[in-house]
């Protein structure tokens, strides 16, 4: 930052970036709706437009980007 003439205060003032990955990282995970999740017969149901499906323990942090943030502790099935 110093080489570029940027102070630490200026760098901290830049808003976070990363689009939906950043937004999902900050969002609190929610439980599945009645139409989502695993039914009593063990069949998994999720929206047709789902791109990634994770099963995670309650309280687990949302996944981020590979290779180091895509399997947070508490991930049961990616």
What tens digit of pLDDT does each residue of 47-64 get? 777 777 788 898 888 887
The pLDDT, as a whole number, for residue 41 is 92
The pLDDT, as a whole number, for residue 18 is 77
Placement of tokens 């990363």 in the chain: 18
The pLDDT, as a whole number, for residue 10 is 92
The pLDDT, as a whole number, for residue 2 is 81
Cβ-in-10-Å burial (0-12, 13-18, 19+) of 22 comes to middle
What are the tens digits of pLDDT across the range 23-45?
877 888 777 888 888 888 988 88
Q: How far apart are CA 11 and CA 54, in angstroms?
A: 33
């Amino acid at each position: 930052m110093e080489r570029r003439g940027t102070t630490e205060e200026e760098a901290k003032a830049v808003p976070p970036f990363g689009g939906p990955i950043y937004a999902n990282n900050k969002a609190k995970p929610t439980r599945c709706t009645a139409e989502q999740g695993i039914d009593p017969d063990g069949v998994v149901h999720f929206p047709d437009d789902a791109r990634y499906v994770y099963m995670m323990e309650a309280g687990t942090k949302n996944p981020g980007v590979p290779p180091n943030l895509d399997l947070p502790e508490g991930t049961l099935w990616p």
